[in-house]
Amino acid sequence: MGSAAVDPAPSDLVVWQGEVRSCQLLTGELVAERAEVLSVPQVPTWQAQIRWLAKDGAEVKAGDPVAIFDSGALASDVEEKKLKATEAERELERKAAEAATQVAEKRFAIEEKRTAVGKARTRAEVPPELIPQAEYQERQRALARAEGDLAKAERALETQTATSQADLEALRVAGEKMQELIAAAGTTEDEIVADFKKARRERRMRKG
């Protein structure tokens, strides 16, 4: 009479042959092997309110929006800067017209002084034996005064021209700076997409 097989009790241990592996507990942060660097466009405010953001881990391709900022505060800031830019353009036009008028007046004054010098020289060139000595000396002094007035008028034109050019250049620089601020403040979805495309182009250039 044979004996029946007895199943091991649940508490019995079962041993089998296999590969021994060591296990280690690691902590840290995973870094992607390939990644695109996206930067926030320059905005006039210290913080930018995000209205929409792509989900973490979502697949995107070049040209896809990854973030949209709330443009409410930015829009009002842009409008204010546009108003200031318009005022600056009008001020530049006004100053340019004013400078042109002042320069024209100075040139007209020079022409008057040159005419006066010509008349005084004609009178001063009369030989002294033909007129009294006192009158001859007075004509010489009149010629010297006329030449001095002409030199003074020419210096006034040079000063006016230099001052006008400096003032107009300062206004032009201020206007260009305002336009740059307007461009920087105009944060839109297109700019975020452009940043993404730029990152891809830079990565391709580094590979090449």
DSSP class of 206: H
Q: Residue 50's beta-bridge partner residues?
A: 69
DSSP letters, 23-71, are ----------SS-----PPP-SSSS--EEEEPPTT----TT---EEE--
Residue 48's SS3 state is coil
Number of helical H runs and strand E runs in the chain: 3, 2
Q: What is the pLDDT tens value at each position of the chain, 208 positions in all?
A: 444 555 555 567 777 777 877 788 888 887 777 777 776 666 656 666 777 888 877 787 777 788 777 766 667 777 888 888 888 888 888 989 998 999 999 999 999 999 999 999 999 999 988 888 999 999 899 999 999 999 999 999 999 899 988 988 888 888 888 888 777 665 444 444 434 444 444 444 344 3
DSSP helix, strand, coil percent of the chain (3-state; round to 5) = 60, 5, 35
Q: Supply the pLDDT for residue 196.
A: 46
pTM of the model: 0.50
Q: What is the pLDDT of residue 108?
A: 93
Q: How many residues does the chain have?
A: 208
